[in-house]
Chain A
Amino acid sequence: MTKEELIDKLKGIVKPYVKNEEGFNNLDENTDFLNDLKINSANLVDVILDIENEFDIIIDNESMEKMLHVKAAMEIINAKLSEK
C-alpha cells in the first residue's frame, strides 16, 4: 500500500469523528487527531477499533498510546501489517 492510499483509508476512518472540517481537508502525515481534527479524546479508542477492523490487525495498549497523530498511526499500521 502506498503512503497516499494509507492516508486515504485513514481519512475515511476518522471522518465521522472529526469536529474540525478545515483540519480534515488539510489532513496529512503531520495532522494531530486531537488538536488538528478536534476529535473528542474519548472517541480515539473508537478510531483505533475502526483501524483494527479495516486492516484486520490488533493494536496493543502501548501502540494505542502513541497513536495521537497520522504519522504514528501509519507507522504502527505498517508495522502490524508487516508482522502478519
Chain B
Amino acid sequence: MAAPNGIGIPDFTNAIKNGISGIRFYQELKDLNFSCCIGGIPQVTEEQKLQYFTPLQLKNFNSPGILYGCMAGMDAWKDAGLTIDENSGTDWESGTVFGTGSSSVEKLRESFYKIDAGNVKKLGSTAVVQTMVSGVSAYLSGILGLGNLVTSNSSACCTGTEAILMGFERIQSGKAKRMLVGGCSDHGPYIWGGFDAMKVMSYKHNDDPEIASRPMSATASGFVPGSGAGALLLEALESALARDAKIYAEVSGAAINAGGQRGSGSMTAPNNEAVQRCIKDAIENAGIHPNDIDLINGHLTATIKDADEVNNWSVALNRQGNDFPYIHSLKAMTGHCLGAAGAIESVAAILCLDNDFIFPSINCEDIHPDISAIIGTEKIPQQVLENNKLQVVAKASFGFGDVNSCIIFKKYDR
C-alpha cells in the first residue's frame, strides 16, 4: 500500500481508523494557475525508495506511479509469505495484472523536451520501459520472477477494481495459482491538469486541504486528486491453505460492465441502469443475498454524482433507510487516486473486513439531503466503528468511458 495517508499496511490502517487525511497544499499547482491547488501524494522518503529499488533502477527514474506500484506489489507479495529473490527461478504459477490510468507522464514530458531539442540520444535506456503502459507490471515481473500472465489493464477510475476481477477470473479458470493485482497512478500537474480544466475538482478549500474532499456532503464541491498504489495477492484457496498463508478475505464474486454511453450515461457520467446491473451481477456471481452486505465501500468522489450512486446502490440492493448497509468513502482521506483508486480502496475494504472496523467517512457531517432522503444518516459513520462484525463488504468503482466494476469481499473463516 502506498496511499497519500499511509505507506504500508500498519500506517495505512492507523490512518483510516483515525480519519487522517493525506490531502496537502502544493505550491507548484498554484504557480501553474490551477483552480485546485491541493492533492493526495504518498509521502515516500529517498531512504524508503532504496528499500524497494536499487540505485541503478533509480538512475534517471521519473515514474512515481511505477514506484508506488512496485512498493505496494512487493509489500503484498511479502505479506503473503512469499519471498523476493533475484536469483530464484521463474515462477510459472504466478502472474500480475497491475493497471494504470495513463503512462508515466513526467517521464514522457522529460523525454519530449529532449526529443524536441534534438537530443533523442539522451533518453538513455529506460525511457521506453518507464513510459510503456505495462511498465509497472514489467518492473514487478522482473523483481518477483513472475512467469504467468503479466499485463497492465486500463479503464480509467475502474482500473484497480478491474485488475482484481481479471486476476480473480484467471485463477478461477485454473490458469494461475497466484495473481498479484492492483493499480497505480502518477501525480502532479500533467496528470491532474485535464481534470482541473473540466472544473470537476474542488477549488474551495485550497487553504484547508484536509476538509476539501467531501464525499456525500451537501457542501461537496468536486473531487480532490490523489495518487499512489494498492496491491493484493490473490491465490487459489488450496494453494494458500497449503502454504498456511495469512488469508485477509475471500473474493466472493465480481462483475464488470459498461453503460455504452447511452441513457443517463456519457463519456463522463454513468448510465445508472448499467451501474445497478453491475452491482446485481456481482451479488449473483458471489451467490449471496443483497441483505448479506454489511458495508459498502463506495466510489463516491465528492461530486454531484454521489447521490446518484447512493440511489443506484439502494435500487440494486432494494434496501433503503436504516435497512441500508453502512456506506463510506475512502476518498475523503486520500482524494481520488484515479487508476489506483479501486485498488487502494479495496485494500481498505479488506482491512475493515479482517479487523472488524468501519473507518469514518470524514467531511460529511452535513450529509447531502438527496442522500439522507434515501438512506438513514447513521449508515454513514462519522466516527470509526470498532468491533463491528463484518462478513461481506461490497466495493465498486466507476470510470470515464461509462465503465463499472464491482467486487464482493467475504470474510474467510477456516
A residues in contact (CB < 8 Å) with B = 16-17, 42-46, 49
Contact = CB atoms under 8 A, between A and B. Distances in A.
Nearest to B55: A16
Nearest to A61: B121
B59 A45 contact: no
Contacts of A49: 121-122, 124
Contacts of B122: 49
A17 B126 CA distance: 13
A51 to B, nearest CB: 12
Interface of B: 55-56, 59-60, 121-122, 124-126
B281 to A, nearest CB: 45
Contacts of A42: 125
B57 to A, nearest CB: 10
Contacts, number: 19
A49 B126 CA distance: 13
Contacts of B121: 45, 49
Given A16-B56, A44-B125, 4 more contacts: A43-B125, A45-B125, A46-B60, A49-B124
Please provide the 10 A-B residue pairs with the shortest distance between their CB atoms, ordered closest to farther. A42-B125, A46-B124, A16-B56, A45-B125, A46-B125, A43-B125, A49-B124, A16-B55, A16-B59, A45-B124
A17 B124 contact: no
User: Among B55, B56, B59, B122, which residue has the most Cβ atoms of chain A within 10 A?
Assistant: B56
18 contacts: A16-B55, A16-B56, A16-B59, A17-B56, A43-B56, A43-B125, A44-B125, A45-B121, A45-B124, A45-B125, A46-B59, A46-B60, A46-B124, A46-B125, A46-B126, A49-B121, A49-B122, A49-B124
B124 to A, nearest CB: 5
